[in-house]
């Protein structure tokens, strides 16, 4: 159907104008009735944040999303334009999207008065009706609301008190649309005061003009908790005027966290097949879960979902680097690749004083270790639950009959294995196969195809690292070369250094 191009045609078409909040509410109701997805790509908020947001929209509220960094606040507000109509009519040339039936600017009123039903109409889409501003200390009232434009006044020979001399800010230009301010506490208090009228009286006043311009805007804000930002706070009268405060949160399950990382991380690499064992995904996510409860990490700062995304990409990149150098076609991460994920971890956690004393690398390695131990116990029996059988003769110690006993005994006999992130696969697999029972235990608890030797080899090292994290064997790491050896021997002697096993 051809869209009307003049005000007269628009009236004849029977088109009715709705306020932006009524429009969003109506489209939301339609989606709910049809059971359509409301905010694709938003994971883990199905029973918490999204119901609260839906309620706020149904109530026609302005809202603020309050939560720590990396909780998808910005992604959520950028999904709101999907609830707008595909297009709406405005008076052509209007800076503030004037409604043809009820223009609020002098330009719009003049156009209707001059041309009447012949006033030209243009149609704007959803993208043109969404504006976003990152709050910074240098933002001014002129940026958000507007100011007198002396050049405009001089060019059109207007007095400074003339309405036509106004230069509209971002919020008036978002009239009949959505305007979002990210990190609201960063706005200076005197600038926050300028938002009072917009939220309560739904109008703006520029430079003390007697005229007030009524606006139709859906306002959305985001903020971190005040005790984190320290750069400022939301003044109490402004908080009082924001209708709904919605609290966001981090993923509450590892499965949700994995889905988010799969959605956001770039792991598909050109020309080579990437095989990512699921337990690696779990380890990466558990690093963040461990960090969010670590005594060395500032919990007020939060641990962003970007940590796991960056860590996953670094992990895959190291496996890709090995494949490129060794001309191998399969990209399969190994446990000895995990230290290369540290650059994606250390820069994304804020440490408390005790953590700073330990050092970011040490804290990062400890988080990886705890995550590995947590995931290992999901797949394998707990190595700390020993099963012993009675000794055959008097004076003899009961023997450990756990499934890990042959592996631990092999290391106690003075043996060791050395693996590196740059080893060719054949050498890597052969080194791990030296350990008795390791292959059988791995196959027993992992449903791996015997033909999938790359995945099997990585899983075998996972068993070794799990035993280390449970203090059954020792591990040394020097220049991304990993040595697994006897725990007791490593404590009481200097034997077992990396150079002894070249």
DSSP bridge pairs for 220: 63, 180
Q: What is the DSSP letter of 84?
A: S
pLDDT for residue 496 = 42
Low-confidence ranges of the chain (pLDDT < 70): 1, 150-154, 156-165, 207-211, 226-231, 386-401, 449-451, 489-502
Q: Do 367 and 285 touch, CB atoms closer than 8 A? A: no
pLDDT for residue 194 = 87
Q: Which two tokens stand for residue 24?
A: 């969003």
Q: Do 480 and 420 touch, CB atoms closer than 8 A? A: yes
DSSP H/E element including 91: strand 87-91
pLDDT for residue 202 = 82
Q: Do 24 and 126 touch, CB atoms closer than 8 A? A: no
- Strand residue runs (E) in 312-430: 330-331, 388-389, 399-400, 417-420
Question: 7-247 sits in which CATH class?
Answer: alpha beta
pLDDT per position as a tens digit, 421-456: 999 999 999 999 999 999 999 999 987 766 689 999
Q: Are strands 121-125 and 203-204 parallel, antiparallel or unpaired?
A: unpaired
- Annotated domain spans of the chain: 7-247, 254-379, 402-501
What whole-number distance in Å separates Cα of residue 344 and Cα of residue 353?
21
Is the pTM higher than 0.85? The answer reads yes
């Amino acid at each position: 159907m051809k869209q009307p191009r003049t005000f007269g045609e628009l009236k004849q078409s029977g088109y009715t104008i709705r306020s932006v909040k009524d429009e969003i509410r109506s489209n939301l109701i339609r989606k709910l009735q049809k059971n359509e997805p409301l905010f694709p790509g938003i994971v883990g908020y199905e029973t918490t944040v999204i119901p609260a947001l839906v309620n706020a929209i149904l109530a026609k509220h302005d809202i603020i999303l309050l939560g720590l960094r990396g909780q998808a606040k910005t992604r959520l507000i950028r999904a709101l334009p999907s609830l707008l109509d595909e297009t709406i009519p405005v008076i052509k040339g209007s800076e503030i999207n004037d409604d043809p039936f009820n223009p609020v600017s002098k330009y719009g009123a003049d156009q209707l008065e001059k041309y009447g039903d012949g006033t030209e109409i243009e149609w704007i889409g959803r993208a043109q009706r969404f504006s976003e501003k990152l709050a910074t200390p240098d933002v001014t009232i002129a940026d958000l609301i507007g100011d007198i434009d002396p050049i405009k006044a001089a060019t059109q020979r207007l007095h400074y008190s003339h309405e036509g001399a106004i230069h509209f800010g971002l919020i008036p230009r978002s009239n009949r649309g959505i305007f979002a301010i990210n990190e609201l506490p960063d706005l200076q208090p005197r600038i926050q005061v300028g938002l009072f009228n917009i939220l309560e009286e739904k109008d703006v006043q520029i430079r003390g003009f007697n005229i007030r311009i009524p606006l139709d805007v859906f306002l959305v804000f985001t903020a971190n908790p005040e005790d984190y930002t320290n750069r400022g706070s939301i003044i109490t009268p402004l908080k009082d005027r924001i209708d709904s405060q919605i609290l966001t949160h981090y993923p509450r399950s590892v499965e949700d966290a994995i889905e988010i990382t799969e959605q956001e991380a770039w792991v598909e690499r050109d020309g080579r097949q990437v095989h990512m064992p699921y337990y690696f995904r779990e380890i990466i996510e558990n690093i963040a879960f461990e960090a969010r409860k670590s005594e060395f990490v500032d919990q007020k700062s939060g641990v962003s979902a970007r940590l796991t995304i960056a860590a996953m990409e670094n992990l895959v990149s190291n496996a890709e680097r090995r494949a490129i150098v060794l001309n191998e076609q399969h990209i399969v991460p190994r446990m000895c690749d995990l230290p290369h994920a540290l650059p994606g971890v250390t820069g994304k956690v804020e440490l408390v004083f005790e953590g700073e004393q330990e050092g970011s690398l040490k804290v990062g390695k400890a988080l990886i270790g705890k995550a590995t131990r947590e995931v290992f116990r999901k797949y394998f029996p707990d190595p700390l639950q020993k099963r012993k059988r009675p000794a055959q003769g008097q004076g003899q110690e009961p023997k450990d009959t756990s499934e890990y006993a042959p592996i631990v005994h092999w290391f106690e006999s003075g043996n060791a294995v050395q693996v590196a992130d740059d080893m060719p696969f054949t050498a890597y697999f052969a080194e791990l196969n030296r350990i008795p029972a390791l292959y059988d235990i791995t196959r027993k608890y992992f449903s791996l195809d015997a033909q999938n030797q790359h995945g099997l080899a990585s899983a075998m090292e996972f068993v070794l690292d799990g035993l280390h994290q449970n203090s059954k064997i020792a591990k040394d790491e020097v220049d991304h070369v990993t040595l697994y050896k006897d725990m007791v021997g490593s404590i009481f002697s200097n034997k077992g250094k990396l150079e002894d096993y070249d």
